[in-house]
Amino acid sequence: MSDIKKQFEALQAATLRLRNSSAEERAAKIRALTAETLARKEDLFKATHAERGTHDLDVAAELMMLKTEGDYVAKNLTKWAKPHKVKGSMGTFGKKCEIRYQSKGVVLNMAAYNAPTAESFVPAIAAIAAGNAVMIKPSEYAPESAQIIQGIVNKVFPADEVQVVQGGVKVAQELLALPFNHIYYTGGNAVGKIVMKAAADNFASITLEMGGKSPVIIDETADLENAATKLAWGRVMNAGQVCIAPEYVIVHESKYDEFTKLIGEKIDALYNSDGKGLENSAYVPRLINERHHQRVAGLIKDATKKGATISFGGGSDKKSRYIEPTILTNVSEDMDVMNEEVFGPVMAIMPYKNRAEVIDIIAKRPNPLALYIYSKDNDAVEYFLTNTSSGSAVVNNNCVQAGTNPNLPFGGVGASGMGRSGGFEGFKEMSNARSIVHQPLDRFRDFLIQLPPYSDKYKNIIMKAIK
Ligand code: NAD
């Protein structure tokens, strides 16, 4: 038997014990996980810096997500884990109805590389809160972080409660063949499909946290300075390796030239304030590996070949996996940059004349993870919100909706994902919402009127109800 299978079976053997653990016991484990992770922050800063050249404060923001979630879940868990009484109905007259959130069993969490600690531990917190055993596979692209993640788990949890397995595609395939009860996956669409198919073999439920092309709409009433500043940050942060990053901007034609000029200026102001060049900025990390560097550089090349103009940036360095923050204008819809997720610091900008055109451009693409609207016109905001679909949306800001507020569940729709994480919704995602009906046995409430042979009284009640 392989080691992975043995590890899985150890977790499986603990499912009943974990299901019957108290909310207080689970909350204590979540607090211990958060505390140990924060205690290792300097190591995580170093690891992430080595992997992608990330600034400590950007990694700290990731840890902040984890702390926000961990504290909130630990605080509310007793309330969530209690049986939830629900109102009765005609069909359950005289009976007592409740929902009990019960663990699913063993949860697999496959994480991506761009926020390795949060992606490993935020879903794990929800799974632990719901009383599951958990297997975490951090991304093989962030091996130094993965090593620390494994060290944290090994220190906090016994081997039959939470396990970390490191490795790449082969390990992922071996894991996906095991009968997990729930699979939580963060990553791209292509692997998302593989995960979904593998889950079908075992009827595992799934959460898919994927990405896509999150659009930005800037209408004629928008505060352009404000929008350009926030979008410069949203696109360049983590060198664009953020699932909810603004990917392309559709700007009203009357503001197109001004916005195009402003966004370049704002990138410079935020990321090159010391004038030493963007490539020397402590705030512009590198792409995770050569393949992703080549892919993003290829998107710029494809766009320029098809007629796009580089209005800012455009440079790249293969050796250091650097992509200069880049703004593309004169973009057309057939360009790869308008159809593939960039996941790098490259933003395409196109003008629009009327609102219907905006809806059309967005509707031609799979449902995005996020959508951003910059406008001071409430009617326009409502029009754009009601005529589009996305996992989340933000008005007059970007990238502030994920991991920031556990009362706002996070997730995608269609090709950008399914299921939700965060807070009570995240807890429910990892639970079986078991409906339980209690029948009191006294003669006023325990009637069997619905059984044949049907009485006229029963017939009258039913016929009246469906009149
Ligand atoms: P990816 O699709 O390359 O890989 C993710 C995981 O899948 C890794 O654990 C990897 O080992 C595994 N994997 C790869 N090939 C496999 C195969 N053939 N069979 C089985 N498993 C396989 O994703 P990535 O490049 O690491 O991450 C980038 C993507 O993640 C982007 O699309 C981004 O939008 C998305 N993302 C989404 C969120 C979110 O919360 N929605 C967060 C971060 C990243």
At 82-135, the pLDDT tens digits run 999 999 999 999 999 999 999 999 999 999 999 999 999 999 999 999 999 999
Binding site membership of 188 for ligand 1 (Cβ less than 6 Å): yes
Rounded percentage of the chain residues whose pLDDT exceeds 90: 99
For residue range 324-334, list pLDDT tens digits in order: 999 999 999 99
Mean pLDDT of the chain: 97
The predicted model scores a pTM of: 0.96
Using the mean position of ligand 1's atoms as its centre, give its distance from the Cα of residue 187 in Å. Answer: 2
For residue range 217-252, list pLDDT tens digits in order: 999 999 999 999 999 999 999 999 999 999 999 999
Binding site membership of 314 for ligand 1 (Cβ less than 6 Å): no
State the DSSP code for 139. -
The CA distances from residue 64 to 203, 238, 291, 300, 427, in Å, are 34, 16, 30, 33, 19
Q: What pLDDT shows up at residue 227?
A: 98
Residue 207 scores a pLDDT above 80:
yes
| Domain topology for 214-395 | Aldehyde Dehydrogenase; Chain A, domain 2 (3.40.309)
3-class DSSP state for residue 269? helix
Binding site membership of 184 for ligand 1 (Cβ less than 6 Å): no
Substitution site in 135, 186, 421 for ligand 1 pocket (most atoms within 8 Å of beta carbon): 186
φ/ψ of 276, rounded to 5, equals -90, 0
φ/ψ of 416, rounded to 5, equals -95, -5
Using the mean position of ligand 1's atoms as its centre, give its distance from the Cα of residue 119 in Å. Answer: 11
243 is catalytic: yes
- Give me the catalytic one of 62, 243, 399, 429: 243
Mean pLDDT of 53-62: 96
Helices vs strands, H then E, count in the chain: 16, 18
Residue with tokens 């198919």: 197
Mean pLDDT of 271-290: 97
Binding site membership of 316 for ligand 1 (Cβ less than 6 Å): no
Residue 280 scores a pLDDT above 90:
yes
| For the CA of 369, the nearest atom of ligand 1 | 41
Beta bridge partners of 252: 352
In which element (H, E) is residue 3 found? helix 3-13
State how far Cα 216 lies from the chain centre.
Answer: 19
Residue 208 scores a pLDDT above 90:
yes
- In this prediction, residue 404 has a pLDDT band, given cuts at 50, 70 and 90, of very high
For residue range 124-181, list pLDDT tens digits in order: 999 999 999 999 999 999 999 999 999 999 999 999 999 999 999 999 999 999 999 9
Residue 2 scores a pLDDT above 90:
no
- 53, 283 in Cβ contact below 8 A? no
For residue range 361-403, list pLDDT tens digits in order: 999 999 999 999 999 999 999 999 999 999 999 999 999 999 9
| For the CA of 288, the nearest atom of ligand 1 | 25
For residue range 63-74, list pLDDT tens digits in order: 999 999 999 999
Structure tokens at 351: 């003008």
Beta bridge partners of 328: 310, 348
Binding site membership of 177 for ligand 1 (Cβ less than 6 Å): no
- In this prediction, residue 1 has a pLDDT band, given cuts at 50, 70 and 90, of confident
Q: What pLDDT shows up at residue 79?
A: 98
209 is catalytic: yes
Q: Which CATH class is domain 3-210+414-433?
A: alpha beta
Beta strand segments in 255-404, E = 309-312, 316-317, 322-323, 326-329, 346-352, 370-374, 392-395
φ/ψ of 101, rounded to 5, equals -85, 110
CA–CA gap between residue 278 and residue 340 (Å, rounded): 25
CA–CA gap between residue 111 and residue 392 (Å, rounded): 20
Q: Where are the domains positioned within the chain?
A: 3-210+414-433, 214-395
